[in-house]
Structure 1
Amino acid sequence: MITVEYCRMMARYNAWQNRGQMDVMKSLKPADLTRDRKAFFGSIFGTANHLLWADRLWMSRFDGGFAPRETAAESAQLHDNLQLYFDDRMRTDAHINRWVAGLSQVSLIGPLTYHSVVADREISKPVAMCVSHFFNHQTHHRGQIHAMMTAAGHTPGDTDLVFLPDDD
């Protein structure tokens, strides 16, 4: 279904896009960052918080590390301080990059069984599907953030995967 090279590329893409969105977030007034924009997680900051929360949750499933303490319902309020969010986002992106650096093709074979905090039940799916979902979930919510930033009058950078810098 997917390859280790795909995972490494998507991890690089994730970090590149997050850095670009953090640059725009720095330029936003706090009220613009937290304004309810009628997105599923409300605001730009709420959606960014949810995405960070979900990345940490999925990484705990993939590598056995610590899951976030917050519930899915609390995910949009993960951080109330922008700098703490930035620090956590950068640590999480580095964690993702370390994880993919250690992947082998065999790592992507077989089932992943985990407790879904959203469905409140045990789920078992192919690892490759879960990893694909992980990267797709990131892209989905960053697209929402990009649209909200654009609507707020800011111009986020390119999001096209083909423009991912080679040295990123």
Structure 2
Amino acid sequence: MKPNPHTDPLAHHLLSMAYNNAWANHRLLAACAQLSPSELQATRCNFFPSILATLNHNLCVDWFYVDALERELAGDAPHEDCYQFFAVDEPFQYAADLQREQAAVDRRLLAYCAAQRDADLGRIVTIARPGGAQQDSRTRLLAHLFQHQIHHRGQVHAMLAGTAVKPPQLDEFFCAGEADLRATEFQDLGWTEADIWA
């Protein structure tokens, strides 16, 4: 029987978080795509020194954790060298490349969350790290990944405020009365409201 996360409250919440995460990335990167390469790379006040560096960091961390989640789900061993995802600090220099790669890993995360059921969310995911394995439940790793994205998207949002590009609204979570405000973006992403809330 195919998993239906809509019938499992926690799995459904995590799936809705994955949709919101992908939508927020889509909206933020569309704004960043309006910047010139020099504006993307400009040094700004932030933990990572530029919009480009922050977006690349978010992408690399997504690669790292989504790989671990997918491996555990498939019954495969942890990645022997998971730090390969950080081998290059800024693997992409242009917004279009970041948009493409972020959308790809966001689709992988959506597929992962769509396959979940509440009964399985306590299963342990192992990440092979130097000095010992990191082990956390699926729930904890997903919560960490979403929080990480929110944190760094907020930093990019703040840095955008120092440019001519208006930072997009990211602080609302799919309010029912505002579906029309995101309808065009959902169409671009190939989703409907029913995909999330059925």
How far apart in 2 are the matches of 1:159 and 1:21? 8
**CA distances 1:39-81 after superposition (whole Å, capped 9, x unpaired):** 2221111101110111111101101187573427x33x12123
Larger radius of gyration: 2
* Long gaps (5+) in structure 2: 1-8, 180-191, 194-198
Residues 1:112 and 2:125 aligned together: yes
Contact 2:63-2:85 at 8 Å conserved across structures: no
How far apart in 1 are the matches of 2:173 and 2:33? 26
Specify which of 136, 146, 154 is matched with residue 157 of structure 2: 146
1:127 aligned partner, one-letter code? R
Paired residue secondary structure (1:27): coil
* TM-score for both structures, normalised by structure 1: 0.85
Paired residue secondary structure (2:125): strand
2:105 aligned partner, one-letter code? T
- The answer for the alignment partner of 1:38 in structure 2 is 45
1:108 aligned partner, one-letter code? L
Paired residue secondary structure (1:139): helix
Specify which of 93, 98, 105 is matched with residue 80 of structure 1: 93
Contact 2:14-2:113 at 8 Å conserved across structures: yes
The Cα RMSD (Å) is 2.3
Percent identity, aligned pairs only? 24
How far apart in 2 are the matches of 1:134 and 1:52? 11
Specify which of 19, 22, 45 is matched with residue 29 of structure 2: 22
1:109 aligned partner, one-letter code? G
Contact 1:113-1:124 at 8 Å conserved across structures: yes
